[in-house]
Amino acid sequence: MRSWLKRFFDEFLLYSSQLIAFFVAMLALIPSADALPGASFWLIAGFVVIQIGLLSVQGHDPFLRVIYSFITPAGYALVRSLNGGFILTDMGHMFLWGGALYIGLFQALTIAGRNRVINGIAEIMLAIGSIVMFVFLYFYLDLRVGLSAALGTGAITLANFRKALDVTSFPHAFVAFVASPQHAFFAFGSATFATLLLANRVRVLSLHSRIASLFGEDRLATKVPRPAPVISEEVQAVVLSADILDFTGFASRLSAASAADVLNKYYSLWGLVAEKHGGEVVGITGDSVILVFGLLGSRNAAEEAVAAASAFFEAMPGFRDELQFASLPPFTGVSVGIHAGTVIAAALGLPGKRRISVFGDAVSVATRLDSLCREFKQEVLVTQAVFSQLGIDSQSRFDRLGEVLLRNSTLPVPVYGLK
């Protein structure tokens, strides 16, 4: 229930449904001769709730996202018709139907598209569209307030009121609106707010596109590998081990298909992070992922590993939104252990299907450190071997938490966690 409510409010805040809700509230709050009765207002509000609810559950389907976007406009038109006040060319109707079509189509394109250029264009158009809709909403609010006041004092008739709200009167009315410095400043503020609001949505869609692209192409398994070390060679490297916290309990609440989908998206995110920071995903077992940095002798392997972990956790809010966007519940968290040491790099697997993998004490220590995150209540733990290779700026981000006895070590080893 809590997950559904979060998806509901995310849909309201991130996917432009709030514009329609604000519009409906505005119609109810401004008194005029053509105001809707209270019961009609709540009926329209019900359509808004139904639309947002359906989009929060099935909005990941491009076709349904477009169709469901018209629920409130259709409901508003129905209620207006039942009250005898439906005018097809009213600016309000144009706003509802035009906005629903514009936002629905471009959102569907970002969901269905697999071309990053097309997705990027769609995201830009979404941002521009929301800014325009925010400005129009304020313009329409100001226009309707002024007309309602004039209608109330008898300065204009109901026919004049409706004519002024007709779409044919828009150019003249909007020019008069922007001519006021106060209105222009407020419109700029509304546009700024819309830009900030849509920036979060663009981030979610960008992550969705990148993960879908990575996983859809199965690049974790098929991408051209970097030059590999000599088979069965000992290499000094930095190993990152990551696990999903309480994944067994989390997976027990899902169907087999949903659990597999969550894991595949999780793997894909680590693949993106590894690719960006010069690492290699060398092991995937259940919810455990092993990354290795410095196989080619990089001097900044420790920095790259820590940067990769930081990048992963920075992407987690968007990743959780991506899971909810696909109607999948987010997991509670991820633990990461990082250790520097000697690994054995070798081509492992059946004949014809071998790929470079690593094993050795450094891998075991990173895995052990990963499991200790629960004990220390940390997301990331690094050993002294990693900490000593970091620059001063990176070291300042860590605190020494204590000492632990690691594998093949007779003395306790200091461990560090992020501040």
Burial of residue 268 (number of CB atoms within 10 Å: 0-12, 13-18, 19+): buried
Is pLDDT above 80 for 314? yes
Query: If you average pLDDT over each of 64-78, 186-200, 206-220, which comes out highest?
Result: 64-78
Look at residue 132 in the predicted model and tell me its pLDDT.
Answer: 80
| pLDDT tier for residue 398 given thresholds of 50, 70 and 90 | very high
For residues 325-352, give the mean pLDDT. Answer: 79
Angle at 217 between CA 213 and CA 221, to 5 degrees: 125
Query: If you average pLDDT over each of 218-222, 253-257, 271-275, which comes out highest?
Result: 271-275
For residues 36-51, give the mean pLDDT. Answer: 79
**How many whole angstroms separate alpha carbon 83 and alpha carbon 78?**
9
Question: With contact defined as beta carbons under 8 Å apart, do 366 and 337 qualify?
Answer: yes
Is pLDDT above 70 for 115? no
Question: With contact defined as beta carbons under 8 Å apart, do 37 and 64 qualify?
Answer: no
3-class SS of residue 223? coil
Look at residue 95 in the predicted model and tell me its pLDDT.
Answer: 83
pLDDT digits (tens, 9 = 90+) for 199-231: 655 555 454 444 444 434 334 333 434 444 445
Give me the percent of the chain exceeding a pLDDT of 90: 15
Which range has the worst mean pLDDT, 20-24, 52-56, 200-204, 355-359? 200-204
**Token pair in block for residue 244:** 């999903």
Instruction: Provide the b/e sequence for 59-93 (b: ≥16 CB within 10 Å).
Output: bbbbebbbebbbbbbebbbebbeeeeeeeeebbbb
| pLDDT tier for residue 289 given thresholds of 50, 70 and 90 | very high
Is pLDDT above 70 for 306? yes
Look at residue 193 in the predicted model and tell me its pLDDT.
Answer: 64
| pLDDT tier for residue 18 given thresholds of 50, 70 and 90 | low
Look at residue 220 in the predicted model and tell me its pLDDT.
Answer: 39
Question: With contact defined as beta carbons under 8 Å apart, do 161 and 34 qualify?
Answer: yes
Is pLDDT above 90 for 84? no
Give me the percent of the chain exceeding a pLDDT of 70: 73
Strands (E), 173-313: 233-244, 279-285, 288-293
Is pLDDT above 60 for 16? no
pLDDT digits (tens, 9 = 90+) for 141-179: 888 888 888 888 888 888 888 889 898 999 999 888 888
H or E segment and range at residue 417: strand 413-418
What average pLDDT does the structure give for the chain? 78
For residues 292-316, give the mean pLDDT. Answer: 87
| pLDDT tier for residue 26 given thresholds of 50, 70 and 90 | low
Is pLDDT above 70 for 103? yes
Q: What is the Cα gyration radius of the chain?
A: 28
Residue 20, phi then psi, degrees to nearest 5: -70, -40
Instruction: Provide the b/e sequence for 204-228 (b: ≥16 CB within 10 Å).
Output: bbbbbbbbbbbbeeeebeeeeeeee
The interaxial angle of helices 116-153 and 17-29, nearest 10 deg, is 0
Regarding predicted confidence, which is higher, 329 or 389? 389
| pLDDT tier for residue 380 given thresholds of 50, 70 and 90 | very high
Q: What is the pTM of this model?
A: 0.51
Look at residue 58 in the predicted model and tell me its pLDDT.
Answer: 78
Which of 131, 149, 261, 124 minimizes the C-alpha distance to 202?
A: 124
**How many whole angstroms separate alpha carbon 400 and alpha carbon 382?**
10
Amino acid at 264: N
Regarding predicted confidence, which is higher, 231 or 348? 348
**Token pair in block for residue 88:** 């097809």
Question: With contact defined as beta carbons under 8 Å apart, do 115 and 183 qualify?
Answer: no
Look at residue 165 in the predicted model and tell me its pLDDT.
Answer: 86
336, β-bridge pairs: 242, 380
Which range has the worst mean pLDDT, 88-92, 237-241, 338-342? 88-92
What are the CA-CA distances from residue 65 to residues 104, 143, 172 (Å)? Answer: 6, 31, 34
Question: With contact defined as beta carbons under 8 Å apart, do 196 and 13 qualify?
Answer: no
The owner of tokens 């207002």 is 41
What are the CA-CA distances from residue 56 to residues 160, 173, 322, 390 (Å)? Answer: 41, 36, 12, 43
| pLDDT tier for residue 409 given thresholds of 50, 70 and 90 | low
Is pLDDT above 90 for 290? yes
Look at residue 62 in the predicted model and tell me its pLDDT.
Answer: 82
